[in-house]
Chain A
């Protein structure tokens, strides 16, 4: 990871911006995916509880 960061640091601003774009969009999707999983887990738990109160 350190080598990757050093490589990007040594590159031009546009390459850095592209890297940040890729990492940023992936990060936003991954984080919101984790929120989605939380919602789904609670949904499943609640459905199970409604079936067996």
Chain B
């Protein structure tokens, strides 16, 4: 008789607590539209992985479909890398080529990664886990998953959810930090628009050259940079439009769907009864904010530093766009600029910095992957 009701008797209060959390994620996705393409599959993945007997995880000693997806897509790195092909096909580097100096904001705004790693170490995390948490500061979901799967498998669920959640909160996090670090006069700075067209040869050669450079500087970053740049080459080559569109749409959508389900399945009810895991999750939640605050501060302060030497001043708010959250950050900054002074258009420069942020985040991710094993 027990076998008949095994579905009801094999779950406890922690399972229901997890269903509640999954419900909140699904609610946020549908009602508030916070990163719905990811939070919705994550929430549902949490539910099906934690239903009685967890058949989708393991059944009769055989891996269930979610375990197979995990082994193939996360442990085998394929999901984040295939998403990078899609992202690469979506990126247009031409605004950056018109304002090449903006590329340095993509470097400055990676400060959040390293500052968060330092603080995570101070909070008691080991260096590998701290670096995986720091990668939230890349503001780039696939990079966070890629690094997390290498250095903090047990905490991948919270790291991914926090990374994507804070990315959708960029419009809330960035403005107060920018206002704190800049004067009204600085926020009103107008910038000249460069109208010249980016050379076609550069658009085609850039992804190839970047892949070579990254391969020599940090060989371990090649999967990250190589897939992103391959996607971009599909876009710019001009002869494989069908492949480029498939990468931007079908490939990205399908992998995002599978990725969300799989990440959701890594969060198990058993973890909720582990106080150490709960404490780590709370710390990751707090460190996520730290990461985005330092990202923003790094970019803004670097812009102010550059202005000390430049005749043609840069609106320091542009520095905050050096994160990878594209195009949200650029939109937020343009909105702020227009609010400070009607008609002030800095969108082109903001997009340039934002595109640089995508380059900077994968380079930083690659460097973290290269440096951590060197010293641990």
Contact = CB atoms under 8 A, between A and B. Distances in A.
Do the two chains bind? yes
Contacts of A25: 107, 110-111, 114
A17 B130 contact: yes
A19 B371 CA distance: 9
Nearest to B108: A29
Contacts of A43: 97, 100, 199, 202
B254 interface: no
A14 interface: yes
**Which one of A8, A14, A27 has the greatest number of beta carbons of chain B within 10 Å?**
A27
A13 B126 contact: yes
A23 B371 CA distance: 8
B257 interface: no
B39 interface: no
Interface in B179-216: 199, 201-202, 205-206, 209-210, 213-214
B202 A18 contact: no
A23 B366 CA distance: 12
Given A5-B374, A24-B371, A43-B199, A35 B110 contact: no
Interface in A1-19: 5, 8-9, 13-14, 16-19
B206 A28 contact: no
B103 A39 contact: yes
B349 to A, nearest CB: 15
Instruction: Give the interface SS of chain B, mostly helix, strand, loop or mixed.
Output: helix
Contacts of B367: 23-24, 27-28, 31
B228 to A, nearest CB: 13
Contact of A35 (B115, B130, B210): B210
Interface in B204-243: 205-206, 209-210, 213-214, 217-218
B218 A14 contact: no
Contacts of B359: 32, 35
A1 to B, nearest CB: 10
Contacts, number: 117
B131 A20 contact: yes
B100 A39 contact: yes
Given A32-B356, A32-B359, A43-B100, A16 B106 contact: no
Contact of A21 (B114, B210, B218): B114
A39 to B, nearest CB: 4
B364 A24 contact: yes
Given A13-B127, A28-B367, A42-B201, A36 B104 contact: yes
A20 B364 CA distance: 11
Contacts of A24: 110, 113-114, 364, 367-368, 371
Contacts of B100: 36, 39-40, 43
Interface stretch (B30-38, B116-124, B279-287): B116-124
Contact of B118 (A21, A29, A36): A21
Contacts of A42: 97, 199, 201-202, 205-206
Nearest to A25: B114
Contacts of B111: 25
B375 A20 contact: yes
A20 B199 contact: no
Given A13-B126, A25-B107, A43-B199, A31 B375 contact: no
Given A9-B376, A20-B117, A35-B359, 5 more contacts: A16-B376, A28-B110, A29-B107, A32-B360, A39-B103
**Nearest 8 pairs between A and B by C-beta?**
A21-B114, A42-B202, A46-B199, A39-B100, A28-B107, A29-B107, A27-B367, A32-B107
Interface of A: 5, 8-9, 13-14, 16-21, 23-25, 27-36, 38-40, 42-43, 45-46
22 contacts: A9-B375, A13-B130, A17-B117, A19-B375, A20-B375, A23-B371, A24-B113, A27-B218, A27-B371, A28-B107, A28-B363, A28-B364, A28-B367, A29-B108, A30-B217, A33-B104, A35-B206, A35-B210, A35-B213, A39-B100, A42-B201, A43-B202
